[in-house]
Structure 1
Amino acid sequence: MDIEQFDFDLPERLIAQTPLKDRTSSRMMAINRSEERIEHQHFYNITSYLKSGDCLVLNDTKVLPARLYGVKEDTGAKMEVLLLHQQEGDRWETLVKPAKKVKEGTRISFGDGKLVAECIGMKEHGGRILQFHYEGIFLEVLESLGEMPLPPYIKEQLPDRDRYQTVYAKEEGSAAAPTAGLHFTHELLEELQQKGVQIAYITLHVGLGTFRPVSADTVEDHDMHAEFYTMSEETAAQLNQVRAEGGRIISVGTTSTRTLETIARDYGQFQAVSGWTDIFIYPPYEFKAIDGLITNFHLPKSTLIMLVSAFAGKELTMEAYRKAVEEEYRFFSFGDAMFIE
């Protein structure tokens, strides 16, 4: 399948640079797949689309302040490091810029030596394995030196770093936010629960795949980077019961979707398990886990718009995106939402 089938014209002015003050006031495009109906709402109206017996599945990963700025110890050259995932102990897979200056044995100092990284392994696309040296607790050191790893298309500074976290973020380890969840507040989640909507949590730590564009000419030739996920016994039992009772499973975000579909594919039901997934969902794909999807508006020709196209149908998805541009919806991480049922 040609990658160009997932292209569309996106004016740069529609890329949201800053989050709205009220998380729930984002606009929401509601799509009914069976009726091929598109409605324009606000996110706080999600309550009228969800019903008792439904279960929202949220990704509770927490974004690390994973972007570090330092200098090479030998030359003083400026370096940028993005932590992707923890391999073992203080050894991390990272992206380094400029990567060509970092070979095995290179040492990078951050915060006048408060944190030092030594390159112990090389990977493609600027990837480096770094061993960190410090005194104290790593996450506390990172909190004092690191910055939120906002996507490259966001040029504005973010004064409140919590605005790039979901209100239910809990499990440290992500290199990017599961942005579909940014629209929820504690109050909205409580309102949904009072209506009889269940809430379940899974974890997928967003990694390198988020930062890798699709460079292949055809969809089938793209390789997805693996990301770590986990589902608890409580969540597995909850979701199996929802399914048995005929309730709908509504995935919040493509990260939750990939986790749920990986487990359903591998085990035939929901199961307490941890592992790595490189599942790549694109049309045609038979969904085994979800009945609905909440997501943001994604980059042209991205793996994310391919996943949405697999769920809503490619023609309906591309029509929805045309309407989103026409109606001037806000795109990407701090942008508006889409609800597909």
Structure 2
Amino acid sequence: MNVRDFYFDLPQELIAQDPLEDRSSSRLLVLDKNTGELEHKHFRDVLSYLKKGDCLVINDTKVIPARLFGVKEGTEAKIEILLLKRRENDIWETLVKPGKKAKVGTVISFGDGLLKGTVIEIAEEGNRLIQFSYEGIFEEILDRLGQMPLPPYITHQLQDKNRYQTVYAKHEGSAAAPTAGLHFTKELLEEIEGMGVSIARVTLHVGLGTFRPVKVDDIEKHHMHSEFYVVEEEEARKVNDAKKQGGRIICVGTTSCRTVESASTEDGILKAGTGWTEIFIYPGYRFKVLDSLITNFHLPESTLVMLVSALAGREAVLHAYDEAVKERYRFFSFGDAMLITDLNETGKEEGKRG
């Protein structure tokens, strides 16, 4: 399967630069995963596609202010780093710009020396392992010096950094937000639970591997970077109970999807535990746990477009994306949302359309 099979034409002006004032007022494109039928709604209408007994799976990871700007000691050359993942204690795998100024032994100073980092190793794909030294608590210093790591296609300054967090973000560790969750408000989640829909919280710390471009023509040769996940016993039970009783498992975002698919047995039982996942989902993949998916609109030729194509079929997904472009939907992190489901199994059958 060729990477070009997942290309679509996207006008630059449709890339959302700012979050909407009201999280749940974004638009929602509903795609029937079996027939390709489309419905144009608003995000709050997601209530009418849920029903009692379903289980909504959300990723409660929290984005850290992972972008740091410093100077190379001795030369005062400016260096930007992005924290990717904590390897151990104060050693982090990082992305450094410009990399040529960060040889092993280089010391980088941040915040007039409040934080210092020493490059101790050059890792895979040129990433640097940096050991940090400081006085106090690392997270507090990072909160003071760091900036939110917005994707490069967002050029506007974010006024409120909480708008790049979900309202249920809890466990710090991500270099990017699980953006499908940005559409939910606390009130909407309460309404969903009030309908008899259980909410299972899993954690997957989002790295940049999910967003890296596919650099090979044959997508089966693409290698995903590993990301750390946690599934607690009680949360696994919610998913398994819903499945056992005939409810649907609706994942919020590709990260929740990748977590449950990585942590489950071949017969679809979600297992509690922790681990690293490199799962790459593309057409031909058979989903073990997930039934429906709430997601945003993704980049052309990205692994995320491939994932949604595995659920609904490449031609149906690309047709839906073409419709979204035609209807001027907003794309990517701060953009609109998509629900991929079986319309015959939704709450609208029971007259719940609101």
2:171 alignment partner in structure 1: 171
Q: Kindly state the Cα deviation for residue 211 of structure 1 after the two structures are TM-superposed.
A: 4.1
Residue 21 of structure 1: aligned partner: 21
What CA distance in whole angstroms lies between the structure 2 residues aligned with 1:268 and 1:312? 19
TM-score using structure 2 length: 0.95
Letter of the 2:250 partner, please give it.
I
Deviations 1:50-78 (A, max 9, x none): 11111100000000000000000021000
Q: Which residue of 2 aligns with 1:334?
A: 334
- Whether 2:262 is the aligned partner of 1:285: answer no
Q: How far does residue 35 in structure 1 lie from its aligned partner after superposition?
A: 3.2
Letter in 2 for 1:327: E
Work out the CA distance in 1 between the residues paired with 2:18 and 2:45.
22
Distance between the aligned counterparts of 1:124 and 1:236, measured in 2? 33
The one-letter code of the counterpart of 1:60 is: D
Contact 1:176 1:210 in 2 (8 A): no
- Which consecutive residues of structure 2, in runs of 5 or more, have no partner in the other structure? 342-354
Displacement of 1:124 after TM fit? 3.5
Normalising by structure 1, we get a TM-score of 0.98
Cα deviations by residue, 1:147-181 (Å, 9 ceiling, x for unpaired)? 00000000000010000000000000000000000
Alignment match, 1:301: 301
Where do 1:145-294 residues align within 5 Å?
A: 145-265=145-265, 268-294=268-294
Rounded to whole Å, the distance in 1 between the matches of 2:66 and 2:25 is 28
Secondary structure of the residue aligned to 1:65 is: coil
Q: Which residue of 2 aligns with 1:95?
A: 95
**Aligned structure 1 segments of 4 or more residues deviating by more than 2 angstroms:** 265-268
Residue by residue over 1:223-282, the C-alpha shift from the partner in whole angstroms, topping out at 9 and shown as x without a partner, is 100000010000111111111101000000000000111112468511111000000000
Q: How many residues get paired?
A: 341
Give the Cα separation in 1 of the matches to 2:302 and 2:218. 12
| Cα-Cα RMSD | 1.0
For residues 245 and 194 of structure 1, the distance between their equivalents in structure 2, rounded to whole angstroms, comes to 18
Distance in 1, Cα, partners of 2:174 & 2:165: 10
Q: Distance in 1 between matches of 2:81 and 2:40?
A: 40
Does the Cα contact within 8 Å between 2:268 and 2:289 map onto a contact in 1?
A: no
Q: Distance between the aligned counterparts of 1:92 and 1:211, measured in 2?
A: 19
SS in 2 for 1:325: helix
Matches within 5 A, 1:115-130: 115-130=115-130
Task: State the distance in 1 between where 2:56 and 2:126 align.
Answer: 37
Query: Is contact 2:210-2:303 (8 Å) kept?
Result: no
